[in-house]
Amino acid sequence: MNTANRNTLWAGIFVTELKKLGLDSVCIAPGSRSTPLAVAFAESGIRIYPHSDERSASYFALGLARASQKPVAVVCTSGTAAANFFPAIVEANYSEVPLIVLTADRPAELRESGANQTIDQLKLFGNHVRWFVDVPAPEANFSKHLLRYLQTLAARVWETSQSPLPGPVHLNFPFRKPLEPIEMPADLPAWMDPPLLSRLETAPAQLTFSRPQLFPAKEQTDFLTQAISSSPRGLIVCGPRCPAGDFPARLTELAAQTGYPILADALSGLRFGEHVNAHIIGGYDTFLPFAGGSLRPQLVLRFGGVPVSNALSDYLDSLENVPQIHVSAANRWQDDRFRVTHAMWVDPLLLCRDLLNGIPKHANSDWLDTWQDYEEKVWDEIRALQMDPYFEGGILPDVLDQLPDGGGLYVANSLPVRHLDQFAPPSRKPVQVFANRGASGIDGTLSSALGAAAHLAGLVFVTGDTSFYHDMNGLLAISRSGIRATIVVINNNGGGIFQRLPISQFEPPFTDLFVAPHGLTFEHAAKLYGIDYVRVERLSLKPALETALRSENSTIIEIPSDAAKFEQVRQALKRRYAAAANPRKS
């Protein structure tokens, strides 16, 4: 711990306490006012990921925290540097990712004074953070009370970022000069001798928290037991961010015991893994618009967030007078159609265990068979498209085929995540899938993916060209931090997602203002950042991926595509499926 002056000591005490609590990663953007924090982290042994750009730093931290499921700190100087954290903090809020956001600031007397690089940073991120603290400026010869305050503050920040609802926490640190570790002996507290300093670094954390588990109440399990027992045609819907760990296995056991299908969002953690059985349904985005009343359930159990699939949301919205029960350990609303009739605030895993012990097996094979019949027809139709060069939807299944067991996949908004959800069938291969589906922006997804790759070496990131362009400077992290990743860029020359909207029928504004074609290819970006590059047609993706995944270097694989032609293929798929699912209407 650096004890040169009040600033370095103040920052050192705080950072040391975070390390004791388990912080092992920090992203730092350069700046003068944040010097005491940067020095403290540099001397702490905590892994530092340096970034020249604050937006990239914050999104990298988001991706790393998402993949590691641990808080990650991110540090910047004062002024607009802090404002560049905003988009990532919004995403972390809505996707419930723990971030510890540390912004440096001028002291109070320089605020609203015209001082350079000074803006109002108080509650800068509004309600998008779980907690904001304007930390007192360091004092010379501070008291033991302030020492305990700093130690306790670190523990409270650590805990608040994770419980009861994970998310970002913002601390604003004002510092007066000198910011560098210049010796100022009069700054140090008289009571702080070398033995005490040693104990500060080696003693256990000043404060730790014990978290409760949300055990099901008897009335909750009784209510659900009765609802399930009286509803042989039930349905389980798993949206993004379902619990990990043992939850997927226990929920599929519950599905087998009740005969309920599980509609598993590609980001739910349920669609891919060793727990996958015949109850896991993934083709619903294609078949639900054509299913009619044959798939009307008597009860819906919901877990996780709002589904990626609009067809699934439409289907849930159509279920008049059908009880829909949402189960979550976080007391946060996750139903934009307002069809949930019962919200249960309880640990989903513990609830599944109780239900498994209390509900007799009463599988309705006809009900499950109906869902499986629709499901099989979907994958038959999609497999028939695999050799169509315009079938952009075949890219994500090809990537999943090439990923090793336990591998990581990060998908960007807007089209790639929809391709994954509609065209990637359930699989017993254990893979970890990530996306920024909290606020669902296209910004920062490259940096987020590289942050995740810092935890999962060899991760594959699939992105559209606009998302890639939007965050291209994030590529610098590959060489600076030794990241190894494969980046698949689907280049359809602009915003291909807009081909799905009615505005696509209105020219001239559509092409210029919505698609916004850029005419770029990305081999020069790869060369600029020292990354391997290959451009392939879609049908040649698998061998290119195989080579990239074996390489010790990071690789950009660019695939040219035509969004308008792909949308025609997708619409033709719908028509063929409608005919296959309802032959008497064809």
Beta strands in 272-316 (DSSP E): 280-281, 299-303
In which residue ranges of the chain is pLDDT below 50? 583-586
Structure token digits, residue 317: 């919205």
Q: Is the domain of 92 the same as that of 148? A: yes
Structure token digits, residue 233: 């045609």
Q: Is the domain of 288 the same as that of 406? A: no
Burial class (CB in 10 A: 0-12, 13-18, 19+), 198: exposed
Q: Is the domain of 270 the same as that of 344? A: yes
Asked whether residue 583 is assigned to any structural domain, the reply reads: no
Measured CA to CA, the distance from residue 365 to residue 342 in angstroms comes to 27
Asked whether residue 326 is assigned to any structural domain, the reply reads: yes
Contact by Cβ (8 Å): 307, 266: no
Give me the pLDDT at residue 582, please: 66
Sheet with 99-105, side-by-side order of all strands: 47-50, 25-28, 72-76, 99-105, 168-174, 131-134
Give me the pLDDT at residue 194, please: 86
Measured CA to CA, the distance from residue 106 to residue 176 in angstroms comes to 7
Model confidence, pTM = 0.95
CATH number at residue 433: 3.40.50.970
> By three-state DSSP, how is residue 460 classified?
strand
R_g over Cα of the chain: 26
Residue numbers of the domain that contains 477: 388-575
DSSP 8-state code for residue 496: G
Closest alpha carbon to 540 in 428, 363, 387, 322: 387
Measured CA to CA, the distance from residue 101 to residue 85 in angstroms comes to 9
Give me the pLDDT at residue 581, please: 67
| Final residue before a domain boundary, out of 330, 347, 380 | 380
Q: How many residues does the chain have?
A: 586
Structure token digits, residue 143: 């008291």
Give me the pLDDT at residue 585, please: 42
309 to each of 97, 292, 375, 489, how far by Cα in Å?
A: 22, 17, 15, 22
Sequence-distant (6+) residues with CB within 8 A of 482 are none
Q: Is the domain of 225 the same as that of 374? A: yes
Asked whether residue 132 is assigned to any structural domain, the reply reads: yes
> By three-state DSSP, how is residue 574 classified?
helix
Beta strands in 191-346 (DSSP E): 234-238, 262-264, 280-281, 299-303, 324-328, 342-345
| Final residue before a domain boundary, out of 323, 347, 380 | 380
Q: Is the domain of 463 the same as that of 511? A: yes
> By three-state DSSP, how is residue 146 classified?
helix
Give me the pLDDT at residue 292, please: 78
Q: Is the domain of 552 the same as that of 488? A: yes
Give me the pLDDT at residue 497, please: 87
